[in-house]
Amino acid sequence: MIKVVAKQYIKDGSLEEFLPVAKALVEETNKKDEGCLKYEMYQDLSDPLVVTVIEEWESQEVLDKHMKAKHFTDAMPKIGALCEKSADINIYKKLF
Amino acid sequence: MIKVVAKQYIKDGSLEEFLPVAKALVEETNKKDEGCLKYEMYQDLSDPLVVTVIEEWESQEVLDKHMKAKHFTDAMPKIGALCEKSADINIYKKLF
């Protein structure tokens, strides 16, 4: 199992525009992407402009497929334009 | 539900000393802390010195109790001494 944590920094004033794009990506991913165990979006309680996707994938292979899927490649430029800086992305394996 | 992501930066050469302390904390927390839904530790695939705890708690209240528990307060100074800098900690609510 591969775990991904992608912390995104939304531009001030862009959250309202960001949320529907992000929601559609979460819904499409959960519906379409084989091997997706979990794909959820979270908002920081002390800074609402920090929005983080926490994902679980069966393997690196299905994660790679996801990153080539249309719903992902369509969403990324839109999300990128609404972000302050690039996301902090970590890809993890479970220790314990 | 409250989600916590705590990304820790281990000092080079300290990972071996860090892992048993971290493992004991994970085990004690899962065993003892009421309202703990998930408490897992992950290691970054490209940088083994980045080790992140991903937690789920029923409420802020039980999370606060955890942070006063002996197994947590005992572990923190040991872990702190083995880290390069302070952890990046985010406390989240789920969006979708």
The predicted complex's ipTM stands at 0.95
Mean pLDDT of A43-50: 98
Give the residue numbers in A contacting B (CB under 8 Å), as ranges: 2-3, 5, 7, 19, 22-23, 26-27, 40-46, 50-52, 54, 88, 90-96
DSSP SS3 for A64: helix
Whether B91 and A52 lie within 8 Å, measured CB to CB: no
Mean pLDDT of chain B: 97
Mean pLDDT of chain A: 97
Residue ranges making up the domain that contains A28: 2-92
- Nearest Cα neighbor of B39 from B76, B70, B1, B4 is B4
DSSP letter string, chain B: -EEEEEEEEEPTT-HHHHHHHHHHHHHHHHHH-TTEEEEEEEEESS-TTEEEEEEEES-HHHHHHHTTSHHHHHHHHHHHHTEEEEEEEEEEEE--
From the list A2, A41, A46, the residue facing B95 with the nearest CB is A41
- Under-70 pLDDT residues of chain B: none
DSSP SS3 for A20: helix
Question: Residue B62: which CATH number?
Answer: 3.30.70.100
| pLDDT at residue number A21 | 97
- pLDDT tens, position by position, A62-96: 999 999 999 999 999 999 999 999 999 999 999 99
- Count of domains observed in chain B: 1
